Structure 1
């Protein structure tokens, strides 16, 4: 049998599926429809006092049921809202800024400037140490791949820096430049540098490294002259503004200056270095002494045991 929820069953007992007995008059009634309307009619016609109590009890029971349902609905809605807010906050906490976010763009710029100012390799930003640091410092920042910063530097930072340097050069009445060729062992390439020097109106020295290009062919004077002309054209430096080109004593550099019709002079420091080397090589006794010193230094540099004995 199902549990009896109506207050009417306070006054009746169920004998079987089709019959009930009144607790007040002990009379038995048939209940074919299995409803409670016949029971309420009996109570109303035969037991008016008890029927009034039943109505009060039934009204109170219905009111309590409605209130219970209302509270359950409110609690369920509140719990749902709380759960949604918590979920939203959790997602927002782990959601990275969009690339167009003001703070994200500022950090992109600072990282690019850091790479340029400290002459760092682009793969520095892919290092686990740097990525852990950025994640701890600002979890909302999405650290991009190296290709992004390479493109950002070339397409955004470089044009601005280029215009600023051109304005600095325009403020110089005359400029001289130094140039040299050297081989980079790590990259296995030869490089030609071009650095401009001048004094501005405030009588302050200005020194700007404008270009460093690779030389894949033989380092002939014609090739060097071609590269120098391209650099002057790229930076819009008129020839009448050139004072002199400082170079080493290489024949190719001298020929490049003649082809480009640029006044050139030898580098004083380079000339001094050549003089010192020549003087050392011309003295037989000093050369022998220098060779012995090199042997001693090489021995201790390659021997851990020798270093310990020397320190002792």
Structure 2
């Protein structure tokens, strides 16, 4: 809309006469039909009778033209150039390819996304002149170049750091015969800000012996040109092979507190016969509904009928004690529907929980609650020893001293050494 209309008004869009707001004059809009209306007479009226307002109008119009750019009619060569595709090695194409690669890497997208029809249509709509590279081009060209640049940047920061700490672990897949050895660096920069970077997640083949761990860690530190004298500490799990491997590497190391806490809870509480029996029955119940859609549908109907929020029962994982707590909590939440389910004639469960076992699970959940909170605290990516020591003190003092901690034997991790 023209800026001149801030000085004029009309009774309706079909009105052929505009009303001048400053002098109340009636000015023709240049025609008798809406299709022939224009603003020429209005601008001329401002120029003749309101010179100051006309000057303001002219400046406003100029500013609008400058902000909107120059919309001159493109030439034929310019129009044809817009239809040509970018060369793959052009600056624009390389920039777009790099951004797509960053999208894949940062958001954990599959490499096949560059072949997906919907994604290709989106990119084509945003930039029709861009040719989507193939998956092989991303793997062979773009990602290696990006890896090189990121590695050089991290290496520069590691070189500037006066001391480095590391965390390491061995991960084994349950779905395929694959093990990974990870190494993450932690340091404080010049602004006293905690920084971290995952340096390696390499395949760890063969037996996980102490010598193999020593050789792999030696190779990773050498690859990043990290002097062992700069290693402040390496945080590891409490496995004997990992402990011995790092001792042979001749670098200081400490057992992971979260892993120590896992062993304490697992061996001190969950291994007790009464608790383990109740958990075994609970696992059978969860497994029954996990593998029978018909049984789960019946349980879901009972949940709705009893006004219990429908939720799936959670199966625990033996290597994570907190998953056992989640399973206990899910069973307790569904206690009434489970009891109603087992009381019906056509339904049967592979195991039942007695009244004593239900009470025991409820008490177990309460005992595990502060340990779960502590585990979440020390497992955060920004957690430090400063989070561990006071948390353990609070756990002991607020829970009746050491009565919630198991009797510590030489084979069990001694968490009291932390405080």
* TM-score interval, normalised by the smaller of the two chains: 0.5 to 0.7
Aligned to 1:46: none
* Correspondent of 1:311 among 296, 304, 329: 304
Alpha-carbon offset, residue 154 of structure 1: 4.2
Aligned to 1:149: 138
Aligned counterparts, 1:1-312, within 5 A: 92=81, 94-185=83-174, 188-302=177-291, 303-312=296-305
Q: Deviations over 1:75-106 (max 9, x none)?
A: xxxxxxxxxx98x8897555321112222111
Deviates more, 1:111-120 or 1:239-248: 111-120
Q: Count the aligned residue pairs.
A: 227
Aligned to 2:16: none
CA distance in 2, matches of 1:155, 1:279: 48
CA distance in 1, matches of 2:152, 2:275: 54
Please give the TM-score of this superposition, normalised by the length of structure 1. 0.66
Alpha-carbon offset, residue 175 of structure 1: 0.9
CA distance in 2, matches of 1:300, 1:189: 31
Gaps of 5+ in 2: 1-74, 306-419
**Secondary structure of 1:197's partner?**
strand
Q: Deviations over 1:174-201 (max 9, x none)?
A: 1111111112345641110000112223
**Secondary structure of 1:191's partner?**
strand
Change (3 A) 1:185 1:147: farther
Q: Deviations over 1:143-197 (max 9, x none)?
A: 0111111123344212211111012112321111111111234564111000011
Alpha-carbon offset, residue 230 of structure 1: 1.0
Higher strand proportion: 1
Gaps of 5+ in 1: 1-84
Alignment root-mean-square deviation, CA: 2.3
Larger Cα-atom Rg? 1
CA distance in 2, matches of 1:239, 1:193: 18
Please give the TM-score of this superposition, normalised by the length of structure 2. 0.50
- Please say if residues 168 and 234 of structure 2, whose CA atoms lie closer than 8 Å, have aligned partners that are also in contact: yes
**Secondary structure of 1:176's partner?**
strand
CA distance in 1, matches of 2:279, 2:138: 49
- Please say if residues 101 and 143 of structure 2, whose CA atoms lie closer than 8 Å, have aligned partners that are also in contact: no
Alpha-carbon offset, residue 296 of structure 1: 3.5
CA distance in 1, matches of 2:157, 2:182: 19
CA distance in 1, matches of 2:225, 2:143: 19
Change (3 A) 1:309 1:89: farther
**Secondary structure of 1:218's partner?**
coil
- Please say if residues 299 and 306 of structure 1, whose CA atoms lie closer than 8 Å, have aligned partners that are also in contact: no
- Please say if residues 178 and 194 of structure 1, whose CA atoms lie closer than 8 Å, have aligned partners that are also in contact: yes
